[in-house]
Structure 1
Amino acid sequence: MSIQFIDLKAQYQHLKPAIDARIQSVLDHGQYIMGPEVAELEAQLAAFVGVKHAIGVSDGTTALQVALMALGVGPGDEVITTPFTFIATGEMIALLGATPVFVDIDPDTYNLDPALIEAAITPRTRAIIPVSLYGQCADFDAINAVAERHGLAVIEDGAQSFGARYKDRRSCGATTIATTSFFPSKPLGCYGDGGACFTNDDELARKMRQIRVHGQDRRYHHPVIGINGRLDTLQAAVLLAKLPTFEQELAARARIGARYNQLLGGVVRTQRLAEGCDCVYAQYTIEVDRREAVQAALKEAGVPTAVHYPVPLNLQPAFAHLNQPAGSFPRSEAAAQRVMSLPMHPFLDEATQDAVVEAVKRAIG
């Protein structure tokens, strides 16, 4: 049995007529940069999330940069975030000359622990970036309450959670600004790089729209310094073709994730869903002892795995200057030693899932 970690080919075959037609439409009109599909997609994304503004950008990392720039974050500022994430979260803070201030995670959800945030706030703190890891939203009510007390902005890094629900809101609709990624493997993915920023704030939306086109408010007029951060029309077209069936895929992800939980819950440690949250399972992640040996055994059995993420940001060489050695964030560091992601996508059938589960059981002995 050939098992795919993420089966994008199956998704394409399912949506082939719609995707092909959308791509052909762009090829026919030839507006490859900021064509009409970009604005059409932005309107649909904003409606889906339930916010006033969606701003398409070139990728999820750029989305974080645009959000931080719109808030005026720069040298001398501090931004609180988690060390248990992909480097882009901390990288964009540092790229703008600010300092990432790491706060440890809740070991059950792997998301930023709101109870630890207040102690990390200083007069230099400008924003908080919680990451909605593995497809489950961070605890926004608690995080927003801390931020409001201290006059701080909150930026959700929703690169893995687009489509998830937090109580009565969607991911990307519960903070000052939110960002997401449309990298091909994400719950809603395009066929290259893509991303978006979301906000209900008219002024922040205006700034972000300017920033993504070199700080331009009209042709060849640049009130602010910006970047080249536009979303390609072809990628917008692919996303438009995928959106009509996205809710169905989210339901499939929820069903498959719940079945994994049922089959593996007594065997390995699994991510806990917080009250009022669901999960879109951008990754289905478990914790195991002897991870390298387990991964080797699964590879031998034809089951692909991945680790998200093996090195917390405080231990990355790029952040060595922050002087936060091993032991600084024990929950994140412990998770980084034990987490492992299994095959997960909306087209994973029960027979294949059963084979994965049986292989996991054999591998852990």
Structure 2
Amino acid sequence: MEQAATVSGFLAPQGARVPFFSQAAGFTELWPRVEPLLREVVDRGKFSHGPLVAALERALASWTGARHVIGVNSGTDALAILLRATGVGPGAEVVVPAFSFFATASAVVHAGARPVFADVDPLSHALDPDAAAAAVTRRTRALLPAHLFCQTADLGALTEVAERYALTLVEDSAEAIGMRWDGVHAGLVGAGGVLSFFPTKTLGALGDAGAVITDDDRVAETAAALRHHGRFGATVDDFPAISTESAVPGLNSKMDDIQAAVLLAKLGTLDTAITRRARLALRYTERLVGCPGVRRLPTLVRRDVDTTPVFYVYLVEVDHRDSLVRYLAAHGVETEVYYPRPLPLQPAFAHLGHRRGEFPRAEKACACAVALPLYPDLADDDVDRVCELVRAFYGGGGA
């Protein structure tokens, strides 16, 4: 699995396992839709940045309502490219949450800027608007909230902060496909956002892939150039030649047509997958509510506008988290820790001089949060088994 997330091992027989993630059954059903698309890729001999990528970009634009979708080779690249395309560069500071996937902060570094950390809201686990405002300096150029687990950050309050200080709002919406704020898809409230198609995501490929989404023509044009060696005006039919001139230092971050083929096929089942995830999350909640030792179940924060949650991860906060993880692993249930260490305390950012205690809400989440299995292939009986084991752990004094 991605990031500094920790995946528990498993000691039970293979047949008794509840994996943290699997798409084996679903992909078997999907294969008849995928196979002809893959054959088309092989027959054409255009494996990267080809017509299926263009078709996926159009389909995602229609599904999300985005004016522009730019396919790239990972969600991390998408975020770094988006930041550069919105003008973030050397000498700039970007306010980011202290609790998120590592790429939220590393993308800022790859754009040549400096991440400035702020604490998070204890319910949504997203960037806290007041903490973000307090972190703004004269060098701050952007706010970068991350939408985590099942809901967006407070985009209303964060937009107000951005407007107050003349900052660009850029969204790390990598986990947020399907989430909406007042009818607007996540990533499109600010200057732009990103999508990750890492296999475990709500819309997952068979490897790494990502996209930039934006309604801004100039941001889209620049992002498209940056993904393709800095070539403005390059289309999916262009192949980079040695003699090609580049206007800006870009990357080779083009999406593979093989991943585009898989994603095009899966996009037709995305609404069904989102509904299934919601039903599984509700089943977890019904069976874990009131469980001793479970401090907090996923809490959807009420906003002043209509919002659309999507359960990518079912995250609970618990007592004796690490012991629970080992207990579940011993009984064949895999889990993931989101996230083991706050971003400011990652070794890569040690030079910024942060110490424990500076970001108490992020640090608390890192100490007690754990994700339980949640994906469309997961059976109802598997959810019941996981919940029975959690209750047995706390009821039996397993800590």
TM-score bracket, normalised by the shorter chain, equals: over 0.9
Q: Distance in 2 between matches of 1:56 and 1:237?
A: 12
Q: CA deviation at 1:76?
A: 1.4
Partner secondary structure for residue 179 of structure 1: strand
Q: Distance in 2 between matches of 1:266 and 1:321?
A: 43
Distance 1:157 1:189, change over 3 A: same
Give CA deviations for 1:193-234 in whole Å, capped at 9, x if unaligned. 100001111011100111100101256121111111111111
Residue from 223, 248, 270 that aligns with 2:272:
248
AA in 1 matched with 2:150: G
Q: CA deviation at 1:170?
A: 2.0
Q: CA deviation at 1:171?
A: 2.0
| Moved segments of 4+, more than 4 Å | none
Q: CA deviation at 1:162?
A: 1.1
Residue 177 of structure 2: aligned partner: 162
Q: CA deviation at 1:127?
A: 0.8
Q: CA deviation at 1:261?
A: 1.7
Residue 272 of structure 1: aligned partner: 299
AA in 2 matched with 1:116: A
Give the percent of matched residue pairs that are identical in Structure 1 and Structure 2. Answer: 41
AA in 1 matched with 2:220: A
Q: Contact (CA 8 Å) 2:81, 2:111: kept in 1 or not?
A: no
Residue 343 of structure 1: aligned partner: 373
Q: Contact (CA 8 Å) 1:49, 1:172: kept in 2 or not?
A: no
Q: CA deviation at 1:352?
A: 1.2
Q: Distance in 2 between matches of 1:13 and 1:58?
A: 24
Q: Distance in 1 between matches of 2:391 and 2:373?
A: 15
Residue 22 of structure 2: aligned partner: 7
AA in 1 matched with 2:289: G
Q: CA deviation at 1:110?
A: 0.7
Partner secondary structure for residue 88 of structure 2: coil
Q: Distance in 2 between matches of 1:347 and 1:321?
A: 43
Q: Contact (CA 8 Å) 1:3, 1:352: kept in 2 or not?
A: yes
Distance 1:95 1:173, change over 3 A: closer
Partner secondary structure for residue 117 of structure 1: helix
The yes-or-no answer on 1:236 pairing with 2:260 is: yes
The yes-or-no answer on 1:33 pairing with 2:66 is: no
Partner secondary structure for residue 337 of structure 2: coil
Partner secondary structure for residue 203 of structure 1: helix
Paired residues for 1:11-160 under 5 Å:
11-160=26-175
Q: Contact (CA 8 Å) 2:183, 2:307: kept in 1 or not?
A: no
Q: CA deviation at 1:290?
A: 1.0
In structure 1, the gaps of 5 or more residues are none
Partner secondary structure for residue 155 of structure 1: strand
TM-score, normalization by structure 2 = 0.89
Q: Distance in 2 between matches of 1:362 and 1:171?
A: 38
Q: CA deviation at 1:86?
A: 1.3
Q: Distance in 2 between matches of 1:52 and 1:71?
A: 16
Residue 308 of structure 1: aligned partner: 338
The yes-or-no answer on 1:285 pairing with 2:309 is: no
Residue 202 of structure 1: aligned partner: 217
The yes-or-no answer on 1:257 pairing with 2:281 is: yes
Task: Let me know the Cα RMSD of the aligned residues.
Answer: 1.3
Residue 321 of structure 1: aligned partner: 351
Residue 295 of structure 1: aligned partner: 325
AA in 2 matched with 1:364: Y
TM-score, normalization by structure 1 = 0.97
Q: Contact (CA 8 Å) 1:155, 1:179: kept in 2 or not?
A: no
Q: Distance in 2 between matches of 1:266 and 1:20?
A: 46
Q: CA deviation at 1:72?
A: 2.5
Q: Distance in 2 between matches of 1:252 and 1:352?
A: 14
Q: CA deviation at 1:280?
A: 2.4
Q: Distance in 1 between matches of 2:97 and 2:316?
A: 19
Partner secondary structure for residue 178 of structure 1: strand
More helix by share: 1
Distance 1:260 1:277, change over 3 A: farther
Residue 221 of structure 1: aligned partner: 245
Q: CA deviation at 1:96?
A: 2.9
Residue 358 of structure 1: aligned partner: 388
Q: CA deviation at 1:354?
A: 0.5
Q: CA deviation at 1:9?
A: 0.5
